Structure 1
Amino acid sequence: MWIKNYVQIYLKKILTISIIGLFCNEFIAQTETKTNPKKFKSTFNQQKEFEVYANYGFFKTYKNTLSFYNNKMGISFTAGHTVQGLTLSSKLPDIQLMTEIVLTYDVKSNIQIYALGKYVDRPINNSGESQSYMNPLFEQSEFGMGIKASIDDLEFDIGPKLILDTRSLNSNNSFRINTKISKKF
């Protein structure tokens, strides 16, 4: 129970910072210090992701990300919200707050290892009941790590992930091996 309270407190703090970032986007967008290559540089960006699964469902994610990085290492803090739902559902799409942290290390210029932690809160509408609960196609609370590699126009991402059951804390967690292959056009 204390973990949930702890996460909620920090989620509120991160969301407050992200809302301030929304209003200051023109001022902060892509600020970067270029002094010593051993020092960390920082960036702030906003991103919208949209994914549709034909005849099944969709999700839209709005993210505000603050990143610190140097030549080899990086850390990113993300806060935002997601709107996701099922096609044949009679309910309105779920609106959920989310926060994420990602640690990266560049082994080579085309190989990167990473670790991530993501928390997606219960929907703020639909009486707190999620339509896409514990479904890996949609945004879920999770811990994971992996390796990303790029060869020519192909990008590979593989690693273990643990989808967290935020309703009953650790009773129904789902482990999976995440594999993603994409081609640039």
Structure 2
Amino acid sequence: MSFLSMNGQEEQMSPNFIFQQKNIEQEYIGVGYYKYYNNALSMRSGNYKVTLNAGIVEQGLYDGSSLGGLPILQNYVGVEAEYSLNRWIAMYVNGQYVDAPFYNARSEITDIYMNPLFAQSGYNMGFRGEVNTMKFDLGVGSLNDTQYNISAPKARLNMKVLIGF
């Protein structure tokens, strides 16, 4: 079981540009968590939207096996392009680069390294949408090994369905 929470602020810079600061948290009960401290600049034109992201991601395991219980802090940058097909479904492509930990302790983060539950470098593409109280995301993606410079990406299928009450 996991919990996702998001809070932040948004400023409309012009009719087509929005600047956002968000804190996005994902918790996996009994396993670990990650938190994005995110700054984003979005541009919208018609059905197109492009977003640039940058910030710090904090990750950790609850059993304290990574860095003696200290959170793992990493810089990241990302970009996403989205095209709205209609008012309830959109196509997207995105990518992000997550840098090595601030502590330069790559050998001590093997439990979250290349684990798709945690923040990783990679890219995704797919469809997302919302119908009444149901949100969905279906696509394909790849995790890229940027920390050890091994060029064998791992492909995966992504599927999320959220049903509101």
Structure 2 length as normaliser, TM-score?
0.85
Compute the displacement of 1:50 (Å). 1.3
- Between Structure 1 and Structure 2, the one with more strand by share is 2
Query: Aligned with 1:66: secondary structure?
Result: strand
Q: Does 2:148 align with 1:170?
A: no
Query: Aligned with 2:81: secondary structure?
Result: strand
Q: Does 2:140 align with 1:140?
A: no
Runs of 4+ more than 6 Å apart? none
What stretches of structure 1 of length at least 5 have no aligned partner? Answer: 1-25, 35-40
Identify which of 107, 110, 122 aligns with 2:85: 107
Q: What is the distance in 1 between the residues matched to 2:141 and 2:99?
A: 18
Compute the displacement of 1:75 (Å). 0.4
Native 8 Å contact 1:132 1:138 kept in 2: yes
What stretches of structure 2 of length at least 5 have no aligned partner? Answer: 1-8
Instruction: Tell me the equivalent position of 1:13.
Output: none
Q: What is the distance in 2 between the residues matched to 1:51 and 1:117?
A: 18
Structure of higher CA gyration radius? 1
Compute the displacement of 1:51 (Å). 1.6
Native 8 Å contact 1:94 1:126 kept in 2: no
Instruction: Tell me the equivalent position of 2:4.
Output: none
Native 8 Å contact 1:157 1:181 kept in 2: yes
Q: Which amino acid aligns with 1:96?
A: Q
Q: What is the distance in 1 between the residues matched to 2:136 and 2:27?
A: 21
Identify which of 130, 145, 163 aligns with 1:150: 130
Q: Which amino acid aligns with 2:54?
A: A
Instruction: Tell me the equivalent position of 2:21.
Output: 46
How high is the sequence identity, in percent, across the aligned residues? 30
Compute the displacement of 1:184 (Å). 3.2
Instruction: Tell me the equivalent position of 1:57.
Output: 32
Query: Aligned with 1:164: secondary structure?
Result: strand
Compute the displacement of 1:149 (Å). 1.8
Compute the displacement of 1:126 (Å). 5.3
- Between Structure 1 and Structure 2, the one with more helix by share is 1
Compute the displacement of 1:168 (Å). 2.3
Q: What is the distance in 2 between the residues matched to 1:100 and 1:184?
A: 28
Structure 1 length as normaliser, TM-score?
0.76
Question: RMSD of the alignment, in Å?
Answer: 1.6
Give the number of equivalent residue pairs: 151
